[in-house]
Amino acid sequence: MTLSMDRETFVAHAGDVQGAEDDVDTGDPAVIRVATEIESEITPLSAYAALTGRTTDADAADHAFLLESGGKTAASDPDGAFRPSHATTDRHARYSFVGYDPEAVVTVGDDGAEVDVLGDDRYGDLIETNGGDVVDELRATMPDVRREGFDDSDRQRLDGGLVGFLGYDAVYDLWLDEVGVERPESRFPDAEFVLATRVLTFDDVEDSIELVFTPVVRPEDDAGAIYDSLAAEAERVESLLADAEPPETGGFDRVGETAGPREEYEDAVRQAKEHVLDGDIYQGVLSRKRELYGSVDPIGFYAALREVNPSPYMYLLAHDDCSIVGASPETLVSVLDESVMVNPIAGTCPRGAGPVEDRRLAGEMLADDKERAEHTMLVDLGRNDVRRVAEPGSVRVDEFMGVLKYSHVQHIESTVTATLAEHHDAFDATRATFPAGTLSGAPKIRAMEIIDELERSPRGPYGGGVGFYSWSGDAVFAIVIRTATVESGVDPAAVPDAAAVDADAAAAIDGSLDRITVQAGAGIVADSDPTAEFEETESKMDGTLAALERIEDGAARGEGERAAPADATAERSAQGGGDGEGPATEDGTSSEGAGRSADAAADDEAHRAEEPASDQREPAVSGDDAARDGGSVDEEQPATDDTAEQEVGR
């Protein structure tokens, strides 16, 4: 096996670099990229199972992650990974990532940051905390290093760094503490990330697998010994993957379930409407949760979810006694090189039987005053958020109210980009855009105050972000929706009476229970109907719950192929975009515009077969002149309402 860097070069990079340029401070620690190609036909999920000791049992891996996407790119369109690229038409995946054996776990809560060193003791000296807010703490824990051996021409890759989740409840630390809102008790920290230095990268274009090491090495460290350990680890991983079998994934044994009463949620919707009518907010996103109890295998759950609802962001994160299993369609924020991007998704209508009806339904959606007003509000909010960290004059709406087609639905989507200001970084961009307007409302801070008042319980990871900060300075986060948390080790005595646990079923499970929490929200505006909003939350949870039901009925089985492509053969968008968008029916289509005549179906049916199977994007269509056919709207375009200005004023 050959590593990408020889031992002599590695040692030189760790200490005094012969011939280094004068501006290189060779006294600083270096993160050095060393990689090797792995010859294997293994899939990402099987690799995750093998690397975390999960090939024969269903015990949770301590700390690991799997990041995939529900699309598969063509060689002619090679960009893309767990994240989308900043080219807004790219919704396919090139790379998948498996991370294992991290050097440390960083947990940030109400009492600040805690660092648990899992690997080399050297990282105890390299990782710092600073007592700042949650984002400042994360920035401090990422060692300040010079990079060696990296190829910056390919910024789509994840070569290590901080990987994890930033929960919605970080809003108390970032925004609500300063306006006097008291933080609720929560079972989850504000953030939990691993410092990843071992990542297995799957390249679907090259059909290759690369094992990437990114150790941090100080001049005083024994660099030769570190290099030798990497070479030995590469040999071990290649042998392990060569012998690995597809994992026998476990199922779901349900013993109880609880959910908030319908009447309680509908009453909260009425109160939120009063806030809208009083002029406190334009929109607020109210969520509710369902908790299921029993025994579940997170790997089996994830495998079922990627079959039921393949999405641009698929993730399985294991942290001690909690796993996060998700299939999110929406970007929270992406920082790639010097470009920052957000892309609000709001507005849904069904697909037609062919191109003619597709265009009619999309046109009706785009002509709907309510859909347009809500979407424009979210775009204005995104522009305002991005402007906080952007070079003056660089904020652009690269696409405004474009229609993106999926297998069963069409969405309205816009993309806001800017050049990151020289004095800002990816951590600043996260703070500026967090939380997403589609999960909070507008103006943001007042909407978050109302959410705190009406939801009456912490959200945990839901509504936050899952993603990474890379050694290259990039950051990519998906919004945590269409996601479940799986907490193990729950004492049966702590299960609420409302869960109606089957005592006999619970007794059949040795020891403790798993708690599976699924959550969804609806955007509340002046004319919202409380019953319809409740049904919307139920519909948005259906895809995640369907994955549980699949393994509940099917029990254990071997792993299938990689994530299904997000095309016309997959019910990819059954759950829609952000949680602030319109209601969906049980089959995943929007209730709005769902009716269609048999004559229209017959008229379009012949055209349907002519369409390609992949996702399609209509040119931006609206009554405005802005951003049509790939054009852009620059920063100076006036907002269509005063959402942005009011948000700044809060």
Catalytic residues: 411, 438, 462, 482, 523
For residues 418 and 336, give the distance between their C-alpha atoms in angstroms, rounded to a whole number. Answer: 11
Sequence letter at residue 153: S
For residues 145 and 29, give the distance between their C-alpha atoms in angstroms, rounded to a whole number. Answer: 5
Name the residue among 138, 479, 540, 157 with its Cα closest to residue 324: 479
Residue carrying the six token digits 């002599």? 8
For residues 557 and 572, give the distance between their C-alpha atoms in angstroms, rounded to a whole number. Answer: 22
Sequence letter at residue 23: D
Local structure of residue 590 (DSSP, 8 states): B
Cis peptide before 312 (omega within 30 of 0): no
Residue 191: Cβ within 10 Å count? 25
Name the residue among 539, 73, 561, 44 with its Cα closest to residue 307: 561
CB 543 within 8 A of CB 308: yes
For residues 333 and 388, give the distance between their C-alpha atoms in angstroms, rounded to a whole number. Answer: 13
For residue 307, the Cα-to-chain-centroid distance in whole angstroms is 17
Phi, psi angle pair for 480, to nearest 5°: -80, 85
Helix ranges (H only) for 462-597 are 503-507, 530-554
Radius of gyration of the chain measured on its C-alpha atoms: 24
DSSP string over 388-425: TTBPTT--EEEEEEEEEE-SSEEEEEEEEEEEBPTT--
Question: Residue 595 burial (CB < 10 Å; 0-12/13-18/19+)?
Answer: exposed
Cis peptide before 435 (omega within 30 of 0): yes
Nearest 10 degrees: Cα torsion 125, 127, 131, 132: 150
Cα atoms in the 13 Å half-sphere on the side-chain side of 260: 22
Residue carrying the six token digits 């009706």? 364
User: At 465, is the secondary structure helix, strand, or coil?
Assistant: strand
Q: In sequence order, which residues have a C-beta less than 8 Å from that of residue 254 and are 6 or more positions away?
A: 292, 293, 294, 505, 548, 552
For residues 63 and 105, give the distance between their C-alpha atoms in angstroms, rounded to a whole number. Answer: 8
Beta strands in 329-408 (DSSP E): 331-336, 339-342, 345-350, 396-405
Name the residue among 215, 236, 235 with its Cα closest to residue 226: 215
Token pair of 240 as six digits:
């392990």
For residues 267 and 88, give the distance between their C-alpha atoms in angstroms, rounded to a whole number. Answer: 39
Local structure of residue 173 (DSSP, 8 states): I
For residues 465 and 415, give the distance between their C-alpha atoms in angstroms, rounded to a whole number. Answer: 18
CB 284 within 8 A of CB 539: no
